[in-house]
Amino acid sequence: KVMSGGSTGERPFTDIITSIRYWIIHSITIPTLFLSGWLFISTGLAYDVFGTPRPDEYFTQDRQQVPLANERFNVNQELEDL
């Protein structure tokens, strides 16, 4: 196949987005990604995976200040103190 005028030989974008195969694949994968992301957040798994406190754990009866770590090299000690 002869390429002319700067063609890279790739499939044209208009052919891809008008393809039935493209729409079948993406009509399944895009909603699945949104659903899995929503479940990851809503079940609280994101808090467990990334180790962030849940919204009700930021303030306790004993500690009412904001739990911030200020010392870069002594973070473990600061977390224990909090």
- Could you report the per-residue pLDDT of 17-67, keeping only the tens digit for each? 899 999 999 999 999 999 999 999 999 999 999 988 888 887 778 777 776
Structure confidence at residue 23 (pLDDT):
92
Structure confidence at residue 69 (pLDDT):
73
- At 1, list the tokens: 């196949």
For the full predicted model, state whether its pTM sits above 0.85.
Answer: no
- Classify burial at 5, counting beta carbons within 10 Å of its beta carbon; exposed 0-12, middle 13-18, buried 19 or more: exposed
How many whole angstroms separate alpha carbon 51 and alpha carbon 60?
Answer: 17
- At 9, list the tokens: 């030989």
Alpha helices, DSSP H only, in 7-44?
13-17, 20-42
Is pLDDT above 80 for 7?
no
Structure confidence at residue 11 (pLDDT):
82
How many whole angstroms separate alpha carbon 46 and alpha carbon 55?
Answer: 12
Among candidates 8, 29, 9, 26, which has minimal Cα distance to 17? Answer: 26
